Structure formats: structure tokens, C-alpha cells
Amino acid sequence: MKLEWLKTDYSTPPSVQSDNNVHKRSYLEKTLKEITSFFMNGIFSEEIISRGGLLQSIDPRVKVLAIVIMVITVSLYKQLSILLAAYSATLVLAYFSRIGLKFFLMRVWFFIPLFSGIIAVPALFNIFVPGDSIIDLITLKKDMVFGPLHIPQTIAITRQGALSAALFVMRVATSVSLVVLLTLTTRWTHILKALRVFKVPQFFTFILGMSYRYIHLLLRQIEAVHYARQSRTIGKEEGSSGRKWIISQIKFVLKRSLNIGEQVYSAMVSRGFTYELRTADNFKLKKIDYICAIVSVLLIMVTLGFN
């Protein structure tokens, strides 16, 4: 299933003035862009799930459990080399799950931990992480103190700083890669069902599932009113009028979600809801699931052993 046409970014409709006029994106465009990326997220994963690679064919229960334990294991690693190996493993998994490498890397590095990458940079220097110097950068006349910051006489990149920055970035990247692999290859409903197997109370999984469905509904409505507003806005809008409008929208959405809640409850009662929640469980463990489970356990034990 190719959905190329859906990838077109419709959040910013073509406008006559935007060619030469570099203007800040308005609040409407920003919200619309966020909403679009929310829906695209679902569409992308649906498409990747339909490709049928390695991770797609594994039972959700095994997959959720394995990934959660792996994320915990990643948080236990102390050696950079093991973290790098684990990160490479996620790339291999992505390849065998038929996730485009470029898409996967973009997804992991540009969406989430870019921020972590930037904030790790200052950690290189002995201003923040004291330790043994590798490269001396600047030598000042004497030590300086700016509020809580103590600037030493020689500003240097430290071994500890560089290692801690690398550890930090790789740890975040590996954990995020694992979670992205899970969400790209598993349907949300299956993740929820898998959670139930691990004794997460049905109360929670049921609400999570229902909530996710109504997030779609609410966002569709918000999207529609934002488009309506945008298409009727000409020229530059005053900040205060935009604020007024957004505030009324927030109230409207709140009122609406409470109303829907009431209506859904009535609908449930009238259909004979007795507080017993039942879902069809049709998971069945196959050979590949056992192999996957054994391989994961081995990997976790071996890496922790080397750690």
C-alpha cells in the first residue's frame, strides 16, 4: 500500500505572498502542523506494519515485553562499546523490518534526541564535568565564578566529559530507537492487548484505548476549525484576537469532550454495559516468537555480562 500522496504537507496551503516574504509561522499553522504529524504518524506505522518484515511478524506480547526489558537493559549499560553495539543492533532490526534506514534515522535523530545531542555538547568541557583534560582550549588569567558556575583557569575538553556526553547521547538514541521500532511495527490496539497480558489492569488499558480513539475525533474537529479560521484570515492577525479565539476553542473542546463522555456512557449503558470488559484475544505464539524470546534473553544476558 503506497500512500505517497498523503505525505504531501497540506498544513500550509500555498499563498501568494509567501515567496519573498519570510514571515513567522502563525499559531494556526503550527497547530495544524502538529495535528498533521499526529495523523501522519498513524499512517506511516500502518504502512510499515503492512510491509510485513521481521518485527511485524512477532507476537505483540513477546515484542512489547522484549522491547521494554531491552530499554531497561540499555539504561544499565556502563560501557560505550556495548551501547554502540546495541544501537547498531537497532539499525539491523530496522533493516529486517523493512523500515527505510533514512526514515528511521530521521525519525530517531531529528524528532526526539536532537535536543539531547545539543544539551550534551557543554558536558564536554571541564566547566560542567571536571576531569582529566584531553585538549586544552583556552587558558585564562585566573579561576572565575559566575553565580553557580565555576570557570577553571584552563578550559579544556575532558575525557570524562567527552565520554559522558557520548554515553548520554548513545543511551538516549538507543532507547528511542527501540521505542520507535516498537511503535512503527505494532498497532496501538495490539500494544494495549499485550499490556493486558502483563497484568496491567483492564481499567487502564480500556481507558487508554478509548482515549486514543477520541483523540482522533477531537483532533479532526480542531483541524477543521483551524482550517476554517486560517482560510478566512487575510493579512496579519492581531495577537489578542488570536488568543481570544484559541481560548474559546479550548473551552469548546473541553465542553465537547465532557459531553461526548456522557453520551458514550449512555450508549454503553443502553447496550447493556455491566462493567465487565471483554476483548477478543487471538494472539497465538508461533515458532518465530519463541526464537525471538530466546535470542532477546541471550542478548540481554551476554551484554550485561560484558558490562
Partner 1 sequence: MHIPDGYLGPQTYIPFYGIMLPLWHRGSKILRKELNAKQIPLLALSAAFSFVIMMFNIPVPGGSTGHAVGSALIAILLGPWAAFMSVSMALIIQALLFGDGGITAIGANCFNIAFIMSFSGYYIYKLLSSNSGTNIPRRVFAACVAAYISINLAAFLTAVEFGIQPYIAHKPDGTPLYGPYSLDVAVPIMAIEHLAIFGFIEALVTGLVVAYIAKTDPAMLNIRVSSELEVTPTASKRYRRLWIGLGILILLTPLGLIASGGSWGEWGADELLKMIGFAPEGLKGLSNLWNSVFPDYTIPGLKGPVESVFGYIFSAVIATSVILLFSFVISKTVFRGR
Q: Which of residues 263-282 bind partner 1 (CB under 8 A)?
A: 264-265, 268-269, 273, 275
Q: Residue 290 has which C-alpha cell?
A: 519463541
Longest CA–CA separation in the chain, Å: 80
Question: Do residues 64 and 194 make contact, with C-beta atoms less than 8 angstroms apart?
Answer: yes
Residue 95 Cβ, how far from partner 1 at the closest point, in Å? 20
Cβ neighbours of residue 13 under 8 Å, at least 6 residues apart? Answer: 230, 231
Residue 278 Cβ, how far from partner 1 at the closest point, in Å? 14
Among 65, 197, 253, 299, binds partner 1 (CB under 8 A): 253
**What are the residues facing 145 on neighbouring strands?**
150
Q: Which of residues 188-247 bind partner 1 (CB under 8 A)?
A: 188, 191, 201, 203-204, 206-208, 210-212, 214-215, 217-219, 222, 237, 239, 242-243, 246-247
Residue 287 Cβ, how far from partner 1 at the closest point, in Å? 28
Among 20, 110, 147, 235, binds partner 1 (CB under 8 A): 147
Among 251, 294, 295, 297, binds partner 1 (CB under 8 A): 251
Q: Pick the closer one to partner 1 by CB: 139 or 259.
A: 259
- Residue 130: CB atoms within 10 A of its CB come to 14
> Any idea how long the chain is?
307
Q: Residue 40 has which C-alpha cell?
A: 501522519
Alpha carbon of 268 to those of 109, 255, 265, 307: distances in Å? 43, 20, 5, 52
Q: Pick the closer one to partner 1 by CB: 54 or 218.
A: 218
Q: Pick the closer one to partner 1 by CB: 128 or 283.
A: 128
Contact region with partner 1 (CB under 8 A), list: 12-20, 50-58, 140-148, 290-298: 140-148
Q: Residue 262 has which C-alpha cell?
A: 456522557
Q: Which of residues 30-69 bind partner 1 (CB under 8 A)?
A: 30-31, 34-35, 38, 41, 68
Q: Which of residues 280-299 bind partner 1 (CB under 8 A)?
A: none
Alpha carbon of 136 to those of 126, 263, 281: distances in Å? 10, 68, 62
Contact region with partner 1 (CB under 8 A), list: 48-56, 93-101, 164-172, 288-296: 164-172
Q: Pick the closer one to partner 1 by CB: 1 or 149.
A: 149
Q: Pick the closer one to partner 1 by CB: 61 or 171.
A: 171
Q: Which of residues 101-120 bind partner 1 (CB under 8 A)?
A: 111-113, 116, 119-120
Among 14, 148, 235, 305, binds partner 1 (CB under 8 A): 148
Helix (H) or strand (E) holding 133: strand 133-139
Of 143, 153, 151, the C-alpha closest to 122 is 151
**What are the residues facing 136 on neighbouring strands?**
156
Q: Is 100 in the site for partner 1 (CB under 8 A)?
A: no
Of 56, 59, 81, 65, the C-alpha closest to 296 is 65
Question: Do residues 293 and 68 make contact, with C-beta atoms less than 8 angstroms apart?
Answer: no
Instruction: Please tell me the count of residues contacting partner 1 according to CB under 8 A.
Output: 93
